[in-house]
Amino acid sequence: MEKVRITFLGGLGDIGRNCAAIETESEILILDCGQLFPDEFMPGANSVLPDLSYLLDRSEKIVGCITTHAHEDHIGALPYLLEHISLPIYGSSFTLGMVRNRLEERQLLNNCDLIEVSDGDKVTIGQFACEFLPVTHSVPSGLISAIQTPQGLIVHSSDFKLDLEPVDGRLTDLDRIAELSKNPGIRLLLCDSTNSDVPGSTISESDIGVSLEKVFKSNEEKRIVTACFASHIHRVQQIAQTAVAAGRKISTLGLSMKKNVTLARQLGILDIMEEDLIDIESIQDYSPDQICVISTGTQAEPRSALAMASAGESRWITIGEQDAVILSSRSIPGNEDRVGRMINNLMKRGATVLHADHLGLHTSGHGNQEELRALHQAANAEWFVPVHGEYRHLVAHKDLAVEIGLPPEKVYLATDGDQIELSDDGLVLVEKVTSGRYPFVQGKILEHEHQVFSERRILGNEGFVVASVEIDNEENVILGDPKVTSKGWVNVHIAQDLEEEIARAIKEGIQKALLQKDATDEYLEQRVRRITGSLVNNLTGRRPMIVPIVRKL
Ligand SMILES: [Zn+2]
Ligand SMILES: [Zn+2]
């Protein structure tokens, strides 16, 4: 039979920018197109994207993109794809609602057809017969995709957990997976690895409601300010339900919370009565015990609603002793310090702060080992590739699959850029198709070269010194005195004397250099750099960026 290639363009080795291409001779079906939020190694970047060049180079083959759910790491890079090509996008109504909002902002809605699919739907996309099954996660309406290819059925778990009591009653359809495993059988399973190194099972999202009730009760007199991810509609639902039961009005804080609550209410997946919802501007009209604010900013992102409030910079809310702040989320690794600072600030303002890590106020959207085990057992796939995880998670997931009974040679540990091929003979790695240098966005610019980050790290840690010299081209002598200025190197009152000393040394050194016959521009620039750099180092023991400028007039 015709061979099928699967190319992993992101999401295997880092959690984020999930994107894969399933490809036959004539067609490509894209599975998710997400972004990654940059870490401290990419200072100043706003977003990191999958390497989309593989797709753009083969755009005529693309038949569509499946969006498995509404998280940024699955849909956030779609605008960058749609800037270049138009294509149909498939997903649940909530996922497509979020996609639509995002594309509207960028005026890209005309470049795609948004095609809604529901639980259990069977849709043919190009030559791929697809079936979509419900899956529980920390965002509503996620979909498992079962994709029929010339090389058999490929099942993608999406971000997956087995919540037996989901807030919306919509269970992960393991029964259908088990049916598919018998007829026609699952050739390849691609499964979420995020929590593959965590034993046991996650607690149900519904359990959070019980913890919330307790916390609301013990803070009866206070105004309650909660924060959770804006896309976590089921968490919002539980907070709202608890608040209304306690006789409180609900107000949203933060633009994305307001947008998502509006969208989810429109779609009928969030139940908050109109009379229970008030505008944030009206919260002062009520006593503290009558209000529950639902805010963004659980990760203390700069400029986020709760971070601003904790710093006393919010236009909408002043945090004080009357407030109990509930952080209903886990700190994403890397954000702990920032979240810690925000909690300090909230407490300094007199607020009581209750954090999810201690009080059962949060549960993960990704299944632990027991849940993954259940999926593997139901799927009984011939081949398995762990996806959606850092490398350690992918390895832990492989170990788990092998422990359950999958032969080690049937598990392929792929990383970003790997292209694998399914043929009648099995699964093999074909090649690595991307460089590993991922495109990133800063402001309005899409870039590929990562050099800027090492420069930025030097600038951030050491500052810079600019040394400029003007040379009379005819006389071959220095015009006036060299100028040395700096920023972020040492404080101004110290810098002034040092800069003058460096300028004198440059004058002396360059005058000597000019005596040599054919002193080229490059040579003179190098001399200025050397003289400045060594003196800077001698005088201060620092290594700021040196910017030499030689102008011949
Ligand atoms: Zn997700
Ligand atoms: Zn994800």
DSSP helix/strand/coil, 447: strand
71 CA to middle of ligand 2, Å? Answer: 6
Q: Give the pLDDT confidence of 533-550 residue by residue, as tens digits.
A: 999 999 999 999 999 999
What are the boundaries of each domain within the chain?
4-200+364-447, 205-359, 463-552
Q: How far apart are CA 375 and CA 353, in angstroms?
A: 37
Q: How far is the CA of 157 from the centre of ligand 2 (A)?
A: 11
Mean pLDDT for 420-432 is 95
**Residue 52, both tokens:** 């989309």
- Ligand 2 centroid distance, CA of 16 (Å): 6
Give the ligand with the smallest distance to the CA of 364: 1
For domain 463-552, which CATH number applies: 3.40.50.300, 3.10.20.580, 1.10.287.610, 3.30.160.60?
3.10.20.580
**Ligand 2 center to 300 CA (angstroms):** 20
Q: Give the pLDDT band of residue 519 (cuts 50, 70, 90).
A: confident
pLDDT digits (tens, 9 = 90+) for 174-211: 999 999 999 999 999 999 999 999 999 999 999 999 99
pLDDT in tens, 456-475: 999 999 999 999 999 988 88
Name the 3-class secondary structure at 441: strand
Q: So what's the pLDDT on residue 358?
A: 66
Between the CA of 232 and the centroid of ligand 1 the distance, in Å, is 10
Distance 144 CA to ligand 2 centre (A): 13
Cα(228) to ligand 1 centroid in Å equals 14
The answer for residues whose C-beta is within 8 angstroms of residue 77's C-beta and 6 or more apart is 17, 19, 33, 34, 35, 47, 49, 50, 52
CA–CA separation, 321 and 139 (whole Å): 33
Task: Give pLDDT, residue 355.
Answer: 87
Ligand (nearest to CA of 34): 2
Confidence bin at 169 (pLDDT 50/70/90): very high
**Sequence letter at residue 289:** D
Is the pLDDT score of 357 beyond 70? no
Mean pLDDT across the chain = 94
How many CB atoms lie under 10 A from the CB of residue 95?
Answer: 28
Expressed in angstroms and rounded, the spacing between residue 58 Cα and the centre of ligand 1 is 27
How far separated are the first and last CA of the chain, in Å rounded? 72
Separation of CA 217 and ligand 1 centre (Å): 31
Residue 513: is its pLDDT beyond 80? yes
Q: Which residue has the higher pLDDT, 70 or 472?
A: 70
Is residue 490 very low, low, confident or very high in pLDDT (cuts 50, 70, 90)? very high
Distance 428 CA to ligand 2 centre (A): 26
Question: SS3 of 90, please?
Answer: strand
Ligand 1 center–CA 193 separation, angstroms: 12
Between CA 37 and CA 381 the distance in angstroms is 32
Please report the pLDDT score of residue 123 as a whole number: 98
pTM of the model: 0.91
Ligand 2 centroid to residue 98 C-alpha, Å = 15
- Give the ligand with the smallest distance to the CA of 365: 1
Q: What would the CATH number be for the domain defined by 205-359?
A: 3.40.50.10710
- Choice among 212-221, 338-347, 512-521 with the minimum mean pLDDT: 512-521
Q: How far is the CA of 68 from the centre of ligand 2 (A)?
A: 9
Q: Indicate whether 238 pLDDT > 80.
A: yes
Q: Which ligand gives the minimal distance to the CA of 388? A: 2
Count how many residues are written for the chain: 553
Instruction: State the pLDDT at residue 460.
Output: 92
State in Å: Cα 387 to ligand 2 middle. Answer: 10
Ligand nearest to the CA of 16: 2
Calculate how far, in angstroms, residue 190's C-alpha sits from the geometric centre of ligand 2. 13
- Of the ligands numbered here, which is closest to the C-alpha atom of 11? 2
Ligand number with the minimum distance to the CA of 393? 2
Ligand nearest to the CA of 18: 2
Q: How far, CA to CA in Å, does 130 sit from each of 22, 156, 246?
A: 12, 11, 45
How far is 458 from 464, CA to CA, in rounded Å?
A: 8
Please state, in angstroms and rounded to a whole number, the distance separating the CA atoms of residues 283 and 399: 52
Interval between CA 15 and ligand 2 midpoint (Å): 7
Torsion sign (Cα): 89, 95, 100, 105: negative
How far away, in angstroms, is 450 Cα from ligand 1 center? 27
| C-alpha 73 to ligand 1 mean position (Å) | 7
| pLDDT score of 517 more than 80 | no
Specify whether the CB–CB gap between 32 and 17 falls below 8 A.
no
Contacts of 271 (CB under 8 A, 6+ apart): 237, 240, 241, 265
Average pLDDT over residues 150-169: 97
- The answer to whether 227 and 295 are in contact (CB under 8 A) is yes
What fold characterizes domain 4-200+364-447? Metallo-beta-lactamase; Chain A (3.60.15)
User: What is the C-alpha to C-alpha distance for residues 85 and 79, in angstroms, rounded to an integer?
Assistant: 10
